[in-house]
Structures are given as C-alpha cells and as structure tokens.
Structure 1
Amino acid sequence: MSLFRQLWLVVVVSTLIAFSGSFVVSMFTARNYLQQQLFTQSTDSAASLALSMSQQKKDPATVELLVSALFDNGHFRLVRYSDVHGKTLVERVNRTPPDKVPEWFVRLFPLDAGQGVAQVSDGWMQSGSVTIIAHTRFAYQALWDGALKLFLWILIAGVLTGLMGSALLRTIQRPMRRVVEQARAITERRFITIPEPRTPELRSLAQAMNRMVTQVKAMFAEQASRIEQLRQEANNDALTGLANRDYFESRLRSALHDDDAPPTGALLLIRLFDLAGINQRLGRDRTDQLLREAADRIRESAAEDDERLLARLNGADFALLDLRADVSETRHLAQQILDRLTDLYRQGLTDQDNVAHIGFTLYQHEDDPAQLWQQVSEALAQAQATGANQARQAEQADRARMLDVAHWQPRLEQALQQQHFALGQFPVLNMQGERLHDELMLRLRDLESDGLLPAGRFMPAAARLGLIPQLDLEVVRLALQHVKQARQPVAINLAAASVLSTEFQGKLLLQLNQHSREAKYLWFEVNEHGFRDELQALGQLATRLRPLGCKVGIEHFGRHFNSIPRLHELGLDYLKVDGSFIHQIHDNRGNQLLVKAIADIANNLGIITIAERVESEQEWQALQALGIQGVTGPAATRHGG
C-alpha cells in the first residue's frame, strides 16, 4: 500500500475514532444537561400552574381552561390536574414524535424529562395537585442538530488534516523519491548525487548516500588514472608520448582485418635524417629534445583527423596510420609533415637542413602487414636517395579504390528499398566456451557476383551520404528476424551518428516495442572511438533500452580512455576490450596489467568484460587468469563453430 493510501487510512481511522469518542462524550453530556433542563421546566411550570389555579375558582371550566392554556404552547408532553384523592380531573397528553430526528437516534439516546408536581390549595386547604412533564421533541431536535454539527466539524477537520498531510507527504516524497532514484541508479551501475533536502532525517540520509557516491566516483577516478598510466607505460613511447611499435602494429592488423574497418587507408613511415650523427655532435639531451619536438610537429599535422594514429617505432623512425585516406590526401599530409619538420632546422634544434624523409603507401583491406612494411620501407629509401626532405609513394599498382560516392549512392538506396542486405555472424563465448551472443555484421548482396560485401566496403560511402542511421535500422530489422527464429542473444553495432539522432532513437524504440519478445535478446554496442565526447547520449540510450531487456556496451574499448571515469554513470552491461591490447598478451606484461585493471573496475561495476580478436589458446588462458569473462575472434570461432 502506498504512503498516500496509508496516510488517508490513518486519517479516516483517526477521524472515526475522534468522532466516535467526541460524539459519545458530547451526546451524553448534552443529554444530561437537557434532561436537567426539562426537569426544571416541568417543575417550574407545575409550580406556576398550581399557583394560578390556587388563585382561581376550582370549578371544572376554569381548571380546564388553565390546563389547556399551558398545554397548548406545545412544550409539554403531559399536563394533569388531580384531586386530593389522586383522581384525574383534567389531563392533556401530546405524543407527537420529534421532527426530523431518526428513530435510531431516539432509541440510542433516550431522554427522561422527569415530572414536575405542585400542590393546588384552596385557602388553607389542599384541593388537588398538578403534574407536568416537559416534551422531549425539542430537546431531541437540539441534540440531533448538535450531533450533525459535531460530525460535520470533525469531517472537515479530518479532510483538512488529510490534505495538509498529503501536501507534507508530497514535500517529503520529493527527496525520498530522489533517494530511491539514486539507490536504483546504483543498482544499475550509475552513481549520481542528489540535492540535500531540508528535513533533518532525510538530509542525513541524502548526505550519507552522496558521500558514498562521491567516494565511489573518487575510487573510479583513481582507478581510471591508474589504467591510463598503465596504458602509457605499456603502449606508449616514454620519450615522446606517442604509441609504441607493438601497439601501432596491433592497430594496423585491426585496420587490415577487422570486419568493420574502412576498405582503404594509408601508411606513412617518417625518418629523421642522420639521428646517430646528431646525437654524437649535439649530445643526448639535444637529440631527445629534437625527437620530442619532431613528435609534436607530426602530431600537429595528424591531429586534424581523428582517424589517424601516430607512433614512434624506434630511434629515428615514426609511423602514421590514416584509416581513411586517398592518394591526394596522403601526399598533402606528407608534405605538411615535411614542412613542419624542416622548421626544426630554422629553430636551431638540428645542425643540418636535411631533416627528414617520408615513404608512404596506400593499403586495401586484407593486405598483408609484412608486405606493407616492405613497400613503405622501399618508398622511404627512394625518398632518401632523391634528396633532402623528400616524400615518395611506393611504386605499386593502386589497387585501393577511392571512395566513389556517386557510385555507391544509387546502389545503397536501391539496397535499402529492396532489402538487399544480409547478416554475417561471429560467436562470442564465455571463458568456459559457452555462447554469450553472436556478433551480427551487415553485408551487402553484390548483384554482379552474387556474393556478400563486408561493411567496410560501403560504410565509408554511407557515412558521407548520411545513410548510417538507415543502415543501422536495417540491421535491427534483420536481427529481430534472426532472433525470432534462433531465440539466441545477438550483438548489433550502432554508429555514433545513429545514437546521437533523436529521430533514429524514436524509430528504434518503436521497432523494439513492436517486437518486445525478441528485443530482450538484443545487445547494442557502440565503438568507443565514436563516443569520446558523446557519452551522455550513450547513457541516455542505455536508460531507454534497459526497460525492454536490451543490453548496451562499448566495443574496441581502451583506444580512448576518457570514457573510463564515466563508466559508473553510463549503466553499461558489457565492454569489449580492444584487440590491440590482446595480441600476444601472454607475453606482454604491460598489457596484462592494463587488461586486469580494466577487468577489475568493470567487475566492480557488474559489467561483463569481453576480449576482442583472441587468436590463440595462450591468449585465452591468460585472459581468463586476468578476470576477463568472454572472448571473440578466431579462437572463439574455432570453439563456437
């Protein structure tokens, strides 16, 4: 029973008790008072009538006239004149019942008016007696009116008390509701603070809850800082702060082999000229300063696009991976880097005007990493042979098709209208080899070859055309059809552009509500890279999807660690740790510490952790020891079939 109902029940019961007690006490008190008044009236009237009769003749006509005169005023039930022997000579009786007074009330509160008796004299002799009983109907009327007024007053007082109690309860309920919402948010792994109410008892409760939440946030912030430090130590170059070679090569493998990776990109190899000679001539400190400044110049050039990753490979070599690039863009980028690096000579940071050379090559999805490194190394050698501060492209057949929006637009629009899309699926297993869910990947039916094109082939063009939300809705439609048959959980990737669209969210929720039985099998995940600054939108989406039974998570987690401090606010269900931290993790102590820290903070929040791109049994066993709860990748495919 709600507090409002309980309050009104208490008010009603209290009103009834108050009314009953007051009614009984008031009625008996009033009855006794009225009985006393009636008796007094009877006695006084009898004395008055007897006196009048004593002064008059005692003939029957006079006596009857006097009795009738008193009786006719209607205030008496009985007026009787008797002789000295008790014989009734004249009697008037009025048995009229009380007006508008219920019989049950008369029976419940009987009035005994009492009789007044007076002697009638004739000179010094007694000639008879007068007996008078006052009528109770007016007393009953007064008693009944008093009872009604008492009931009405107590009723009004009860209603006013209930209304004031309800208003007070609403005032109390607001902070209580906030406390309940805060507690519910904690159960959903969201830690929020609430305003402190004015009520002392509730204020102390809110303060205690807020202190707990603040401490939890501080704990997570500390853990996030520790994780970022571990990432820096494990995957970044200590001198320049750029990614190191292992991390860069792992990200390159992801760009070449991940199903959702763009179809084309560029790899640049940048080398500072004669670094060993500069070290001998200028000393180690000046050389370290040169490397840091060179890293800053390259970082400034690459920072214009979030799809670029910069690393220091060894002493003089830097590498840059551009996930979305064509020939003209890459040439412009290489020249921009050279222009900024040659400025180091003008600033006196190096003693020679020949500062750096660049070799670059374009790649296509599924290219071999070793061949790419060979091609870009050959291009770098050609640049060094050409002259000072030169950039050269690898001499190869340009197999990477440029993104032809005009080519893809009619094809994608037709595919959406005629539903030419299909799904590929890959298993995600827990550490015991049991299936957690299947990852669903969108495929486009190629009408020419009757094959299926991976998402990386058409998604870049779809992004430029603004079709990503429509494609995501198509994936949801196909996933619901799949779940209706298989009744197994599936994971769907949503783009940042979709989640940020209120129109998309409305259509998504409408579609899920229409298939509520299937919706509870859906796991929605977003790429952390696309949500570095839009985590609030992701938290709102999770809040709207949770009542439908859906799960929400982040894939490629760890590439950008600014989301870790806010994990407690998002209410996520799972994380997929980026494969760049998983490759050869059994031999990488730094990544082991990093992944364990991620698993610990996620497990404390009740968030499932899944490792991406697990390739070997050694990696699987190492991840299990680190507290990871699920795996995906080639090893999972072999186990899951």
Structure 2
Amino acid sequence: MTDDTMMGRMRRILVSAIRLLKVPNDNPELTLAQFGAFSKQVPLLYFILGTNMLSLAWTHQGTAPAALVTYVPAFLVLVFFARSLIWLKSRKVSRTAEQAYRQLRATNILSFPIAVVCTLWALSVLPYGDAYQRAHVAFFMAITVIGCIFSLMHLRSAAMMVTVTVTIPFFVAMCLTGEPTFIATGINVILVTIPMIMILLDQYRDFRTLNESRHVLLQQQKALQDQNKAMQALSDENLRLANLDTLTQLANRRSFFQMLERAFARARQSGERLAVGVIDLDGFKPVNDMYGHAAGDKVLAEIGLRLGGITESRLTVYRLGGDEFALLLEGDASEGRVTALGQTICDLIANRINIGSGLVQVTASVGFAIYPDVGGSGQEIYERADYALYTAKRRHRAGSVIFNAVQADELTRQKIVEDAMIAADLERELYLVYQPISHADDLSCTGYEALARWQSPRIGSVSPAEFIPVAEHNGRITMMTRILLERALAVAANWPKDVYLSFNLSPHDLSSPDNCLKIVAIVLKSGFNPARINFEVTETAIMHDFEQASASIQLLRELGAGIALDDFGTGFSSLNHVHKLPLTKIKIDGSFVRNIHQRKTSYKIVKSVLALSADMELDAIAEGVETLEELQVLRALGVSSVQGYYVSKPITAEETFAQTPAEMPLVRIS
C-alpha cells in the first residue's frame, strides 16, 4: 500500500471522526426532531451528573480538601441546576430548525468543557481516601460515562465527545494506579463503552431513519390532504357550476327548484309568507332574429345583471332558461310589496340595452303567486305563478299579475277542459263554423274563415279561447289541425271557384318540417286548388321559432297557398315580419277597428297599416267590424275586405252551400 493511499485513508478516517463530533445541519426536520428528543433528556443528564457528584463529594468529606469536595461540587451542581431550568423552559418555546440547530451546536460545544471539568474533578479526588473511596471514584467515572451515552444518544456528536473525554483519561488513570483491580476496571469500562458506542450509533441511525420515514409519511399525508382539498374544491366548484347559469351568473333552474322546496318548508314551519315570481321577456326573440344570438346573449346578461342588483331583503333571482327568469321573496311577501317589486322589475328591464351595434329594448311580463294565499307545495306555487305570467302576457303585457281567485277559477276550468280533452273523441266532437270575408264596398262574400268548435259530451260547448291553448299545451293541436283541415277542404270543394278558404294554423303546425309536410299532404290529397287556400298565422306563431316558421311558410307559398298575418299590430316586431315573410294578406286586429270612428289613435294606426300593405302589394282585411259607423270609416280609408258580426256571424257548412256571392250581404246595409 503506497503512502498516498495510506494518507488518503487516514484523511477519510479523520473527516469521518470530525463529522461524528459535529451537529448535522442537512435536514431541518431531523434537527427539530433531535432538539425535541434531546430537550427532554438534558435535564436528566444534569440530574445524573449532579447526584453522582454530590454522592462522591459526601463520601470524601474529611478525607479530601474541603475546596475540592465542597465548593467545587456545589458550584457545578448550581450550574447543572441552572442549565436544567433553561432546558425545561426551552421545551415550551416553539423554534425554527435554524434556532434549534444553534442551541444544539452550543450544547455540543459546551459538553466538552463540562466533561473535562467533571473528569478532572473526579481524577483530583482519586488520590484521597482508602480503597473503598477510590473505588467510588471509579464507579463515579463509569456510571457517568454510561449515563452520558444514554442521555446524549439523540445528539450523537455530544455523546461521542463526552464518552471520549471521560473514558480515555479514566482508563489511563486506572492503569497508572498499578492496582490490578483498578486496571481491570479501566479495561472493563473501555470494553463496555465500545459496544455502547456501537449501540449509540445504531440508535442514532435508527432515529434518523425513523425521522426520515416519518417525514416522508407526513409529506405523503400532506399530499393526500392537499389532494383531498383539491378534490373537495373541485367538487364544490362542480356543484357551484351545476347550480349556476354561466351566461348571467345567476343561479339556474336546478338551483331554483331546490331552493323553492326549502323556502316553502321554512315558510310552512315559521308561518311566514313566500312569493314566487316568474318573469318572461317580451320582444326578446325579435332581437335574436334581427341581431343574432350573440346580441341576445348580451341582452340576457344585462337583464341578469339588473335583476341581480335588486336590493330587496331576502330576495333571490334565478334564470330558468331561454328568456325566462324566476325569483323567491321570503319574509314580508305582502301583496303591496310584491306589486311594488313587480313594477320595479318591469321598469328595470324596460330600459334600453346597448348591444354594441345599437340600442334595443325589451320588456317583461311577471307573474306572482303568494303562499299561504295559494299553493300546498313549492311546485304548486310555481305553477300558479306561471299561470299568472300567462295571464300577464295575454292581458297585461309588460306588467305584473298576482295569482288571484279569478285566475284560480280559470285554472280550475283549464284542468277540467284538459281532462275532458284527454278523454274526448275529437274526430266526432270537433266541428267547424265559417265566417264570411266580404268586399268592403258591397259586402259580397269572397271567402270563409273556418273556425273550430268543440261540443264535449262531458262539459258541453267549449270556447276556442279555452280549448285551443289547452290543446297547444298538451300537444293535441296538430292532430286537431289535420282533422279540421280535411273537413274544411271537403266543405270548400262545394263552394264557387271564386270563393277561398281561410284556415288558421297554430305555432306547433309551423314548428317542424314534419308538421308542415303533413299539412301539404292533406291539401294535395284533397284535390282542392291550393290557390284558393289562405293560411292564417299569428305573430306569436312566427315568434315561437322564426327560422322554422319562415321555412314552413315558404313551403306553403310554394304549394300555391296564400299567407295572411293575423292580428297584425298586436305583436312586437310586426313590420320586421312583414318584410321578411312571403305574405299575401294582412288582417288588421279587431282591437284597432272597434270604435274607430271615435278613436283617433286607432284611425291613424289603421291608416298606416293600409299604406304599408298598399306599398307592399298586400291585401288588407279588417277584422271585428260590428257597426255601420266602423264599416263606413274603413271604406273611406280604402280597406278592401272586412269581416265581423256586422256582416255575418259564423255559419254552418250547410249555410255556406245555401249562399252564393251574389246573395251576399247576409245583413242589410243601409
């Protein structure tokens, strides 16, 4: 082996030895663990040193000098006591890894002089006394070594330093006595110390490994906790999104019905009132049709912002879908407060909205129902609020309606009608009457409008105003349309060839290509000339789905049939529809005709409509003519055709066969 190799090995041994005598600072968690365990054992170490020293001093009283066995032990015991108090207090103070390292390092440094002082003191006492007293010194040295090793096992460097500092001088001193017993004792201590040091190193290694494993486990637990927190946060976010309308940032339909049942349960238990409101926008679909869905989304987002900004106490707002919103008002849900809230909502929504490319305006109709005035469950209150909304849209558009006794009677009647319709044989119970459409100048008949009637064996005669909305609601309207169209075509086949059939279509008849194709098939199968058919569609039917309705109307025009826009002037975008649709006629709503000779506003409206129809080469038919004065004003304005009770009430099919255009009018006109 070369000298360089030997030097290298010795250098490594020296470095390893120095490392054993230094406090490690490469693992903050280990440092804190060392400090925690060591702080509990240091007071015990000082207790061992102090009691052993006092015992040895006591046995040497009168033999060794007083300064050596009285003053020095007393001073050292006081130091040990003070250090013990310091360590006991430090156990209650939270420390960082750096602070713990500094205190361990200070203790490691201090352990050497303490070991030296204790060793020198014991060796100074050794020459005094008899064999028993000297044996006590040997015992003191041995038990001190063992106590130090075990007490300092969590601070390996200090344990090694104290062991070496005490053991080697003790062994030398024992050998120098020349006494075989003391020499054997020195050798015995050395031999016992070596395995104890090995045990110390193993214990320290196990302590370090255990701490590292604990640290890894804690990291894994923390990672698992973080993962659980992340999963919980994700779950909470998913739940929030599941109950949130992302466009308006309002709670959605799912959230509304959940909160409705909870609010109802609270109201029933506490005796408080609860109001449910349903809001529907008027004129929203034309915005979508004219400006596109992006503009419609801006409108909905702005409406959501306005509704969400209402500062009423215990009021929550929801978006149910489309252009429909809902609200819950708990606590003080008096009729006065609900009415005021409805007006606030209508006023807020009616303000114009900037969509970027211009300003648009929509209005809102609102229906309310108040518990405990009505409803035995949350769902029932909602249904009654929805019916109040239906009433508002029919009679108080852009206003609010609170569900009341009149509507309760209407709803009860509606359910009776619906039950009767479900059980009805519609092919047998439905029939048609026909109202003449006449020239305004001589009242000669140019056509008949087929009007549906229902005679129920269970509830008697049912008005179209009652059964048609029910049929539209339960999906039977398209079946009724096909039944009645076949009958109307069969009747019209017997009319003179210059008399046309006017037939009403519902929104559902135009809502799908399949429904429209079935209507076309019925016309073609009948053999009736499509040019003699005039299909009447309402603006409501068109607004239901403008694109599909427009496609269906175009198909009927290609068939050869005419298209009349019924109830013109009562909708929100009539002019827009007139320009976009292939119409052939406009029917002026009877509300504008009634008392036109006395109402200047109606006169101006009808005059404007006639000018528009003339400009677009469309025929104009005035509905609801009931007096001679109304007819005379319409004639003066240039109306081409009229329809109403003044000319004729609806008549049966047989009566249409008995009349000819030459025999019209059906009533005398003076």
TM bin (shorter chain): 0.3 to 0.5
Structure (1 or 2) with the greater helix fraction:
2
* Structure of larger gyration radius: 2
Structure 2 length as normaliser, TM-score?
Answer: 0.38
Q: Which has the higher contact order (CA 8 A, sep 6+)?
A: 1
